[in-house]
Amino acid sequence: MDSVVLTGSDLTLDELLAVARRRTRVEFAPTALERMTRAREIAERTIDEGTSAYGVTTGVGSRKSFAADSPGHDRLLVRQHVTAQGSPVAHEIVRAMAVRLANAFASGTTVARPILAQLVVDALNADRLPAVRSLGSIGLSDLAQMADLVDGVLGDFELARGEGIALLNQASFSTAYGALAFADAAVLLDMLDAAGALDLEAFGANRSVLHPRVGEVRPYPGLQSTLVRLRALLAGSEVEARALQDPVSFRTLAHVNGGARDALDFVGAQIAIELNAAQSNPLVLIDEGVVISVGNFEIQPFASALDFARIALAPAITSAAERAVKLLQAPLTGLPEGLGARPAMAESALSEFGIAAQAFAAEARLLAQPVSFENVSTTQAEGLEDRMTMAPLAARRLEAMVELGARVVSIELLLAAQACDLRGSRLGAGTGALRTKVREFAPFLDEGGILPDLELLVDEIRSGSLAS
Protein backbone atom coordinates (compact mmCIF):
# COMPACT_ATOMS: atom_id res chain seq x y z
CA MET A 1 0.00 0.00 0.00
CA ASP A 2 1.19 3.51 -0.81
CA SER A 3 -0.24 5.13 2.31
CA VAL A 4 -2.54 4.53 5.23
CA VAL A 5 -5.45 6.97 5.49
CA LEU A 6 -6.70 7.44 9.03
CA THR A 7 -10.43 7.88 9.58
CA GLY A 8 -10.56 6.93 13.24
CA SER A 9 -12.82 3.96 12.59
CA ASP A 10 -11.26 1.46 10.19
CA LEU A 11 -7.53 1.07 10.92
CA THR A 12 -6.62 -2.58 10.28
CA LEU A 13 -3.88 -4.78 11.66
CA ASP A 14 -2.34 -5.03 8.20
CA GLU A 15 -2.20 -1.24 7.99
CA LEU A 16 -0.68 -1.01 11.45
CA LEU A 17 2.00 -3.51 10.41
CA ALA A 18 2.66 -1.61 7.19
CA VAL A 19 3.32 1.60 9.11
CA ALA A 20 5.25 -0.05 11.94
CA ARG A 21 7.45 -2.41 9.94
CA ARG A 22 7.51 -1.13 6.36
CA ARG A 23 7.34 2.58 7.16
CA THR A 24 4.28 3.22 5.02
CA ARG A 25 3.22 6.89 5.08
CA VAL A 26 0.20 8.04 7.05
CA GLU A 27 -2.31 10.77 6.30
CA PHE A 28 -5.65 11.92 7.66
CA ALA A 29 -8.89 11.59 5.76
CA PRO A 30 -10.59 14.97 5.18
CA THR A 31 -13.52 13.78 7.27
CA ALA A 32 -11.15 13.08 10.17
CA LEU A 33 -9.79 16.64 10.05
CA GLU A 34 -13.33 17.95 10.06
CA ARG A 35 -14.27 15.84 13.09
CA MET A 36 -11.18 16.99 15.02
CA THR A 37 -12.06 20.61 14.26
CA ARG A 38 -15.60 20.14 15.50
CA ALA A 39 -14.42 18.32 18.64
CA ARG A 40 -12.02 21.15 19.44
CA GLU A 41 -14.78 23.73 18.98
CA ILE A 42 -16.83 21.88 21.58
CA ALA A 43 -13.84 21.89 23.93
CA GLU A 44 -13.32 25.63 23.44
CA ARG A 45 -16.99 26.33 24.13
CA THR A 46 -16.79 24.21 27.27
CA ILE A 47 -13.78 26.23 28.44
CA ASP A 48 -15.41 29.56 27.63
CA GLU A 49 -18.59 28.62 29.49
CA GLY A 50 -16.64 27.53 32.56
CA THR A 51 -18.13 24.05 32.51
CA SER A 52 -16.12 21.43 34.38
CA ALA A 53 -14.43 19.00 32.03
CA TYR A 54 -11.93 16.52 33.45
CA GLY A 55 -8.38 17.29 32.40
CA VAL A 56 -9.55 20.16 30.20
CA THR A 57 -10.66 22.75 32.74
CA THR A 58 -9.50 20.77 35.79
CA GLY A 59 -6.47 18.93 37.03
CA VAL A 60 -6.29 15.14 36.87
CA GLY A 61 -6.55 12.40 39.48
CA SER A 62 -6.99 13.79 42.98
CA ARG A 63 -6.55 17.29 41.50
CA LYS A 64 -9.83 16.96 39.63
CA SER A 65 -11.45 19.62 41.82
CA PHE A 66 -8.76 22.21 41.07
CA ALA A 67 -8.98 24.58 38.11
CA ALA A 68 -6.30 24.07 35.47
CA ASP A 69 -5.97 27.39 33.71
CA SER A 70 -2.35 28.42 34.19
CA PRO A 71 -0.21 28.89 31.05
CA GLY A 72 1.88 25.86 30.23
CA HIS A 73 -0.14 23.52 32.47
CA ASP A 74 -0.71 20.91 29.76
CA ARG A 75 2.94 20.80 28.68
CA LEU A 76 3.97 20.44 32.31
CA LEU A 77 1.41 17.65 32.73
CA VAL A 78 3.19 15.69 30.02
CA ARG A 79 6.62 16.28 31.52
CA GLN A 80 5.47 15.23 34.97
CA HIS A 81 4.38 11.87 33.62
CA VAL A 82 7.79 10.95 32.18
CA THR A 83 8.29 8.14 34.68
CA ALA A 84 8.89 5.06 32.52
CA GLN A 85 11.92 2.90 33.18
CA GLY A 86 13.69 -0.07 31.70
CA SER A 87 15.12 -0.78 28.29
CA PRO A 88 13.55 0.85 25.20
CA VAL A 89 11.04 -1.18 23.24
CA ALA A 90 11.61 -1.98 19.58
CA HIS A 91 11.28 1.02 17.27
CA GLU A 92 8.47 -0.67 15.37
CA ILE A 93 6.38 -0.60 18.55
CA VAL A 94 6.96 3.15 18.87
CA ARG A 95 5.83 3.62 15.27
CA ALA A 96 2.72 1.52 15.93
CA MET A 97 2.03 3.62 19.05
CA ALA A 98 2.19 6.81 17.03
CA VAL A 99 -0.24 5.63 14.36
CA ARG A 100 -2.64 4.31 17.01
CA LEU A 101 -2.53 7.69 18.79
CA ALA A 102 -3.11 9.54 15.53
CA ASN A 103 -6.06 7.27 14.74
CA ALA A 104 -7.55 8.10 18.14
CA PHE A 105 -7.35 11.78 17.28
CA ALA A 106 -8.89 11.09 13.86
CA SER A 107 -12.04 9.75 15.52
CA GLY A 108 -12.86 13.21 16.88
CA THR A 109 -13.43 11.87 20.39
CA THR A 110 -10.60 13.86 22.03
CA VAL A 111 -9.99 17.60 22.44
CA ALA A 112 -6.82 17.50 20.31
CA ARG A 113 -6.58 20.11 17.56
CA PRO A 114 -5.87 19.00 13.99
CA ILE A 115 -2.52 20.82 14.16
CA LEU A 116 -1.46 18.62 17.09
CA ALA A 117 -2.62 15.48 15.35
CA GLN A 118 -0.69 16.50 12.24
CA LEU A 119 2.42 17.05 14.36
CA VAL A 120 2.28 13.41 15.45
CA VAL A 121 1.78 12.17 11.89
CA ASP A 122 4.60 14.36 10.54
CA ALA A 123 6.97 12.97 13.17
CA LEU A 124 5.88 9.47 12.24
CA ASN A 125 6.34 9.99 8.50
CA ALA A 126 9.75 11.55 9.05
CA ASP A 127 10.57 8.78 11.54
CA ARG A 128 11.50 11.37 14.16
CA LEU A 129 10.21 9.36 17.08
CA PRO A 130 11.90 9.07 20.47
CA ALA A 131 12.79 5.97 22.45
CA VAL A 132 9.98 4.63 24.62
CA ARG A 133 10.87 2.65 27.72
CA SER A 134 9.19 -0.64 28.49
CA LEU A 135 8.25 -0.50 32.18
CA GLY A 136 5.88 1.60 34.24
CA SER A 137 2.36 1.14 32.85
CA ILE A 138 -0.41 -0.72 34.64
CA GLY A 139 -2.46 -0.90 31.44
CA LEU A 140 -5.09 1.62 32.48
CA SER A 141 -3.85 4.28 30.10
CA ASP A 142 -0.16 3.93 29.34
CA LEU A 143 0.66 7.26 30.96
CA ALA A 144 4.41 6.73 31.35
CA GLN A 145 4.99 5.40 27.83
CA MET A 146 2.69 7.97 26.25
CA ALA A 147 4.70 10.66 28.04
CA ASP A 148 7.94 9.22 26.64
CA LEU A 149 6.48 9.32 23.13
CA VAL A 150 4.80 12.71 23.14
CA ASP A 151 7.45 14.54 25.16
CA GLY A 152 9.94 13.61 22.46
CA VAL A 153 7.59 14.54 19.62
CA LEU A 154 6.33 17.87 21.02
CA GLY A 155 9.59 19.70 21.49
CA ASP A 156 8.61 23.35 22.04
CA PHE A 157 5.12 22.93 20.58
CA GLU A 158 2.60 24.82 22.71
CA LEU A 159 -0.35 22.75 23.82
CA ALA A 160 -3.87 24.13 24.12
CA ARG A 161 -5.93 23.46 27.22
CA GLY A 162 -6.89 19.83 27.57
CA GLU A 163 -4.42 18.53 25.00
CA GLY A 164 -2.11 17.16 27.67
CA ILE A 165 -4.69 14.65 28.84
CA ALA A 166 -5.65 13.89 25.23
CA LEU A 167 -2.06 12.85 24.58
CA LEU A 168 -1.49 10.92 27.78
CA ASN A 169 -4.77 9.21 28.55
CA GLN A 170 -4.43 6.61 25.80
CA ALA A 171 -3.62 2.89 25.70
CA SER A 172 -1.64 3.23 22.47
CA PHE A 173 1.41 1.50 23.94
CA SER A 174 -0.50 -1.58 25.10
CA THR A 175 -2.49 -1.76 21.88
CA ALA A 176 0.53 -1.39 19.62
CA TYR A 177 2.66 -3.85 21.57
CA GLY A 178 -0.13 -6.42 21.78
CA ALA A 179 -1.12 -6.09 18.13
CA LEU A 180 2.43 -6.65 16.86
CA ALA A 181 2.92 -9.59 19.22
CA PHE A 182 -0.37 -11.07 18.04
CA ALA A 183 0.67 -10.78 14.39
CA ASP A 184 3.87 -12.68 15.21
CA ALA A 185 1.87 -15.29 17.12
CA ALA A 186 -0.28 -15.91 14.04
CA VAL A 187 2.89 -16.48 11.97
CA LEU A 188 4.20 -18.87 14.63
CA LEU A 189 0.99 -20.89 14.55
CA ASP A 190 1.30 -21.34 10.78
CA MET A 191 4.85 -22.58 11.35
CA LEU A 192 3.69 -24.97 14.07
CA ASP A 193 1.32 -26.49 11.50
CA ALA A 194 4.06 -26.84 8.89
CA ALA A 195 6.61 -28.26 11.33
CA GLY A 196 3.97 -30.61 12.73
CA ALA A 197 3.29 -31.99 9.26
CA LEU A 198 6.99 -32.65 8.81
CA ASP A 199 6.97 -34.41 12.20
CA LEU A 200 4.29 -36.78 10.93
CA GLU A 201 6.52 -37.66 7.99
CA ALA A 202 9.58 -38.02 10.19
CA PHE A 203 7.85 -40.30 12.68
CA GLY A 204 6.02 -42.38 10.12
CA ALA A 205 2.78 -41.50 11.86
CA ASN A 206 -0.63 -42.92 11.13
CA ARG A 207 -2.47 -40.45 8.88
CA SER A 208 -5.95 -41.62 9.89
CA VAL A 209 -5.89 -38.82 12.48
CA LEU A 210 -6.24 -36.39 9.57
CA HIS A 211 -9.34 -37.98 8.06
CA PRO A 212 -11.87 -35.30 6.98
CA ARG A 213 -14.53 -36.88 9.17
CA VAL A 214 -12.48 -36.01 12.25
CA GLY A 215 -13.41 -32.38 11.76
CA GLU A 216 -16.95 -33.08 10.68
CA VAL A 217 -17.87 -34.94 13.86
CA ARG A 218 -15.99 -32.39 16.00
CA PRO A 219 -16.91 -29.22 14.14
CA TYR A 220 -14.52 -26.63 15.52
CA PRO A 221 -13.52 -24.23 12.73
CA GLY A 222 -9.87 -24.23 13.81
CA LEU A 223 -9.69 -28.01 13.79
CA GLN A 224 -11.31 -28.20 10.36
CA SER A 225 -8.99 -25.63 8.78
CA THR A 226 -5.92 -27.20 10.38
CA LEU A 227 -6.86 -30.63 9.05
CA VAL A 228 -7.20 -29.19 5.56
CA ARG A 229 -3.81 -27.48 5.86
CA LEU A 230 -2.04 -30.59 7.13
CA ARG A 231 -3.51 -32.81 4.43
CA ALA A 232 -2.41 -30.30 1.77
CA LEU A 233 1.15 -30.25 3.13
CA LEU A 234 1.30 -34.05 3.13
CA ALA A 235 -0.32 -34.58 -0.29
CA GLY A 236 1.78 -36.98 -2.38
CA SER A 237 3.69 -38.44 0.57
CA GLU A 238 4.78 -42.07 0.32
CA VAL A 239 5.81 -42.41 3.98
CA GLU A 240 3.99 -45.42 5.44
CA ALA A 241 2.44 -45.55 8.88
CA ARG A 242 4.45 -47.68 11.30
CA ALA A 243 1.86 -48.15 14.06
CA LEU A 244 -1.85 -48.04 14.78
CA GLN A 245 -1.51 -45.64 17.70
CA ASP A 246 1.19 -42.97 17.84
CA PRO A 247 2.00 -40.79 20.87
CA VAL A 248 -0.77 -38.34 21.69
CA SER A 249 1.25 -35.29 20.63
CA PHE A 250 1.23 -36.71 17.06
CA ARG A 251 -2.36 -37.90 17.11
CA THR A 252 -3.79 -34.60 18.38
CA LEU A 253 -1.63 -32.21 16.33
CA ALA A 254 -4.66 -30.85 14.46
CA HIS A 255 -6.77 -30.60 17.62
CA VAL A 256 -4.20 -28.66 19.63
CA ASN A 257 -3.15 -26.32 16.82
CA GLY A 258 -6.77 -25.96 15.74
CA GLY A 259 -7.74 -24.91 19.25
CA ALA A 260 -4.99 -22.30 19.20
CA ARG A 261 -6.28 -21.06 15.84
CA ASP A 262 -9.81 -20.62 17.17
CA ALA A 263 -8.37 -18.70 20.12
CA LEU A 264 -6.30 -16.44 17.89
CA ASP A 265 -9.32 -15.75 15.70
CA PHE A 266 -11.10 -14.45 18.79
CA VAL A 267 -8.07 -12.40 19.85
CA GLY A 268 -7.79 -10.94 16.35
CA ALA A 269 -11.39 -9.75 16.56
CA GLN A 270 -10.67 -8.03 19.88
CA ILE A 271 -7.62 -6.33 18.40
CA ALA A 272 -9.64 -5.12 15.42
CA ILE A 273 -11.99 -3.39 17.85
CA GLU A 274 -9.25 -1.93 20.04
CA LEU A 275 -7.34 -0.43 17.12
CA ASN A 276 -10.28 1.91 16.54
CA ALA A 277 -11.83 2.15 20.00
CA ALA A 278 -11.93 5.44 21.89
CA GLN A 279 -9.59 4.88 24.84
CA SER A 280 -9.48 8.35 26.32
CA ASN A 281 -10.98 10.24 29.23
CA PRO A 282 -12.62 12.71 28.79
CA LEU A 283 -14.67 11.81 25.74
CA VAL A 284 -15.97 14.34 23.22
CA LEU A 285 -19.40 13.56 21.76
CA ILE A 286 -19.64 15.64 18.61
CA ASP A 287 -23.29 14.84 17.91
CA GLU A 288 -24.30 15.93 21.42
CA GLY A 289 -21.84 18.80 21.68
CA VAL A 290 -20.50 17.79 25.09
CA VAL A 291 -17.33 16.65 26.83
CA ILE A 292 -18.01 13.87 29.34
CA SER A 293 -15.95 12.03 31.94
CA VAL A 294 -15.75 8.29 31.20
CA GLY A 295 -13.68 5.16 31.85
CA ASN A 296 -12.74 4.27 28.28
CA PHE A 297 -9.13 3.78 29.33
CA GLU A 298 -10.31 0.41 30.70
CA ILE A 299 -9.03 -2.15 28.18
CA GLN A 300 -9.80 -5.35 30.07
CA PRO A 301 -11.25 -7.15 27.01
CA PHE A 302 -8.00 -6.55 25.15
CA ALA A 303 -5.77 -7.55 28.07
CA SER A 304 -7.77 -10.73 28.67
CA ALA A 305 -7.54 -11.58 24.99
CA LEU A 306 -3.74 -11.37 25.11
CA ASP A 307 -3.80 -13.72 28.09
CA PHE A 308 -6.03 -16.09 26.12
CA ALA A 309 -3.59 -16.08 23.22
CA ARG A 310 -0.76 -17.24 25.47
CA ILE A 311 -2.89 -19.88 27.17
CA ALA A 312 -3.87 -21.32 23.78
CA LEU A 313 -0.36 -21.19 22.29
CA ALA A 314 1.33 -22.90 25.23
CA PRO A 315 -0.07 -26.41 24.51
CA ALA A 316 0.84 -26.10 20.83
CA ILE A 317 4.44 -25.19 21.71
CA THR A 318 4.62 -27.93 24.35
CA SER A 319 3.30 -30.55 21.93
CA ALA A 320 5.85 -29.47 19.32
CA ALA A 321 8.65 -29.92 21.85
CA GLU A 322 7.30 -33.36 22.81
CA ARG A 323 7.25 -34.51 19.19
CA ALA A 324 10.78 -33.22 18.68
CA VAL A 325 12.10 -35.13 21.71
CA LYS A 326 10.38 -38.33 20.60
CA LEU A 327 12.05 -38.12 17.20
CA LEU A 328 15.37 -38.58 19.03
CA GLN A 329 14.37 -41.87 20.66
CA ALA A 330 15.26 -45.02 18.76
CA PRO A 331 12.64 -47.27 20.45
CA LEU A 332 9.90 -44.94 19.23
CA THR A 333 11.15 -44.11 15.74
CA GLY A 334 13.06 -47.19 14.65
CA LEU A 335 15.85 -44.82 13.62
CA PRO A 336 19.33 -44.46 15.18
CA GLU A 337 19.39 -42.96 18.69
CA GLY A 338 19.68 -39.20 18.56
CA LEU A 339 19.07 -39.38 14.79
CA GLY A 340 22.71 -40.29 14.23
CA ALA A 341 23.89 -40.94 10.69
CA ARG A 342 24.12 -44.69 11.42
CA PRO A 343 23.08 -47.08 14.22
CA ALA A 344 25.25 -47.90 17.22
CA MET A 345 27.21 -44.63 17.25
CA ALA A 346 28.84 -43.51 20.49
CA GLU A 347 28.48 -39.83 19.70
CA SER A 348 25.47 -37.79 20.81
CA ALA A 349 24.46 -36.73 17.30
CA LEU A 350 21.43 -34.43 17.70
CA SER A 351 20.35 -35.62 21.17
CA GLU A 352 21.29 -32.46 23.04
CA PHE A 353 18.83 -30.44 21.02
CA GLY A 354 16.08 -32.28 22.89
CA ILE A 355 17.16 -30.63 26.14
CA ALA A 356 17.14 -27.20 24.53
CA ALA A 357 13.65 -27.76 23.08
CA GLN A 358 12.29 -28.70 26.48
CA ALA A 359 13.96 -25.68 28.08
CA PHE A 360 12.36 -23.33 25.58
CA ALA A 361 8.96 -24.99 25.95
CA ALA A 362 9.13 -24.82 29.75
CA GLU A 363 9.83 -21.10 29.66
CA ALA A 364 6.98 -20.61 27.21
CA ARG A 365 4.56 -22.45 29.48
CA LEU A 366 5.52 -20.29 32.43
CA LEU A 367 4.66 -17.20 30.36
CA ALA A 368 1.10 -18.46 29.89
CA GLN A 369 0.08 -17.40 33.40
CA PRO A 370 -2.68 -14.78 33.03
CA VAL A 371 -1.98 -11.28 34.29
CA SER A 372 -5.16 -9.38 33.46
CA PHE A 373 -6.87 -10.36 36.71
CA GLU A 374 -4.14 -8.64 38.74
CA ASN A 375 -5.47 -5.77 40.81
CA VAL A 376 -4.01 -2.79 42.60
CA SER A 377 -4.75 -1.33 46.00
CA THR A 378 -3.67 2.28 45.98
CA THR A 379 -3.46 5.26 48.25
CA GLN A 380 -2.70 7.45 45.26
CA ALA A 381 -5.26 9.89 43.89
CA GLU A 382 -7.45 9.51 46.97
CA GLY A 383 -7.95 5.85 46.16
CA LEU A 384 -9.61 6.68 42.85
CA GLU A 385 -7.15 4.74 40.73
CA ASP A 386 -7.92 1.24 41.97
CA ARG A 387 -7.82 -0.85 38.79
CA MET A 388 -5.24 -2.18 36.38
CA THR A 389 -5.18 -4.59 33.46
CA MET A 390 -1.43 -5.20 33.12
CA ALA A 391 -1.97 -5.19 29.35
CA PRO A 392 1.65 -4.19 28.61
CA LEU A 393 2.89 -7.21 30.58
CA ALA A 394 0.39 -9.43 28.75
CA ALA A 395 1.80 -8.16 25.44
CA ARG A 396 5.42 -8.47 26.54
CA ARG A 397 4.84 -12.07 27.63
CA LEU A 398 3.18 -12.91 24.33
CA GLU A 399 6.16 -11.47 22.46
CA ALA A 400 8.55 -13.55 24.58
CA MET A 401 6.46 -16.69 24.14
CA VAL A 402 6.49 -16.29 20.36
CA GLU A 403 10.29 -16.05 20.33
CA LEU A 404 10.61 -19.17 22.48
CA GLY A 405 8.09 -20.96 20.27
CA ALA A 406 10.11 -20.12 17.17
CA ARG A 407 13.16 -21.66 18.84
CA VAL A 408 11.22 -24.84 19.58
CA VAL A 409 10.12 -24.96 15.94
CA SER A 410 13.71 -24.50 14.71
CA ILE A 411 14.75 -27.63 16.62
CA GLU A 412 11.61 -29.48 15.57
CA LEU A 413 12.37 -28.77 11.89
CA LEU A 414 16.02 -29.75 12.22
CA LEU A 415 15.19 -33.09 13.83
CA ALA A 416 12.29 -33.82 11.50
CA ALA A 417 14.43 -33.11 8.43
CA GLN A 418 17.16 -35.44 9.75
CA ALA A 419 14.64 -38.19 10.41
CA CYS A 420 13.07 -37.82 6.97
CA ASP A 421 16.49 -38.05 5.34
CA LEU A 422 17.25 -41.21 7.30
CA ARG A 423 13.97 -42.80 6.23
CA GLY A 424 14.51 -41.87 2.60
CA SER A 425 10.85 -42.04 1.60
CA ARG A 426 9.23 -39.56 -0.73
CA LEU A 427 7.67 -36.69 1.18
CA GLY A 428 4.55 -34.72 0.39
CA ALA A 429 4.77 -31.68 -1.87
CA GLY A 430 4.53 -29.22 1.01
CA THR A 431 6.60 -31.14 3.52
CA GLY A 432 9.24 -31.90 0.90
CA ALA A 433 9.60 -28.24 0.03
CA LEU A 434 9.86 -27.40 3.71
CA ARG A 435 12.60 -29.99 4.26
CA THR A 436 14.53 -28.50 1.34
CA LYS A 437 14.28 -25.01 2.83
CA VAL A 438 15.44 -26.25 6.23
CA ARG A 439 18.49 -27.80 4.62
CA GLU A 440 19.56 -24.34 3.41
CA PHE A 441 20.16 -23.45 7.07
CA ALA A 442 21.06 -26.82 8.57
CA PRO A 443 22.59 -29.59 6.46
CA PHE A 444 22.27 -33.29 7.24
CA LEU A 445 24.39 -34.13 10.29
CA ASP A 446 26.82 -36.84 9.26
CA GLU A 447 29.00 -38.89 11.56
CA GLY A 448 31.45 -36.61 13.34
CA GLY A 449 29.53 -33.54 12.19
CA ILE A 450 29.31 -30.23 14.06
CA LEU A 451 25.91 -29.11 15.30
CA PRO A 452 24.44 -26.22 13.32
CA ASP A 453 23.77 -22.77 14.72
CA LEU A 454 20.01 -22.28 14.34
CA GLU A 455 19.77 -18.50 14.78
CA LEU A 456 19.29 -17.79 11.08
CA LEU A 457 16.67 -20.53 10.90
CA VAL A 458 14.84 -18.93 13.86
CA ASP A 459 14.83 -15.61 12.01
CA GLU A 460 13.42 -17.31 8.92
CA ILE A 461 10.70 -18.98 10.98
CA ARG A 462 9.69 -15.67 12.52
CA SER A 463 9.55 -14.01 9.10
CA GLY A 464 6.84 -16.46 8.02
CA SER A 465 8.54 -17.34 4.74
CA LEU A 466 8.90 -21.02 5.65
CA ALA A 467 5.19 -21.38 6.29
CA SER A 468 4.14 -20.34 2.78
Radius of gyration of the chain (CA): 26
The DSSP letter of residue 217 is H
Tally of CB atoms within 10 A around 92 = 17
pLDDT in the model for residue 204 = 97
Beta-bridge mates of residue 284: 291
Closest C-alpha to 119, from 174, 73, 160: 160
**pLDDT at residue 235, rounded to an integer:** 97
Q: Are 167 and 95 in contact (CB under 8 A)?
A: no
Segment holding 300, helix H or strand E: helix 300-326
Phi, psi values for residue 283, rounded to 5°: -120, 130
For all residues of the chain together, what is the average pLDDT?
95
Q: How does pLDDT run across 183-206, given as a tens digit for each residue?
A: 999 999 999 999 999 999 999 999
Asked if the 3-170 domain carries CATH number 3.30.413.10, the reply is no
pLDDT at residue 57 in the model: 86
CB 111 within 8 A of CB 56: yes
Q: Tell me 6's DSSP state.
A: E
Q: What is the pLDDT of residue 245?
A: 94
Of 109-113, 274-278, 346-350, the least confident: 346-350
Residue in 236, 237, 183 with CA at minimum distance from that of residue 205: 237
At 86 the three-state DSSP class reads strand
CATH superfamily, domain at 179-467:
Fumarase/aspartase (Central domain) (1.20.200.10)
Q: What is the mean pLDDT of residues 428-434?
A: 97
pLDDT at residue 384 greater than cutoff 80: no
Question: What letter represents residue 129's amino acid?
Answer: L
Q: What is the location of CATH 1.20.200.10 in the chain?
A: 179-467
Residue 380 — very low, low, confident or very high, per pLDDT cuts 50/70/90?
A: low
Q: Are strands 133-135 and 85-88 parallel, antiparallel or unpaired?
A: antiparallel
Q: What is the pLDDT of residues 303-319, one digit of tens each?
A: 999 999 999 999 999 99
Q: Distance between CA 100 and CA 391 in Å, rounded?
A: 16
- For 283-300, what is each residue's pLDDT tens digit? 999 999 999 999 999 999
- For every residue of 96-149, DSSP letters joined together read HHHHHHHHHHHTT-S---HHHHHHHHHHHHTT-----EEE---SBS-HHHHHHH
Per the DSSP assignment, residues forming a β-bridge with 370 are none
- What is the pTM (predicted TM-score) of this model? 0.96
| Parts of the chain belonging to CATH 1.10.275.10 | 3-170
Position 75, amino acid: R
- Cα distance between residue 307 and residue 401, in whole Å: 11
Least confident range of 59-73, 108-122, 152-166: 59-73
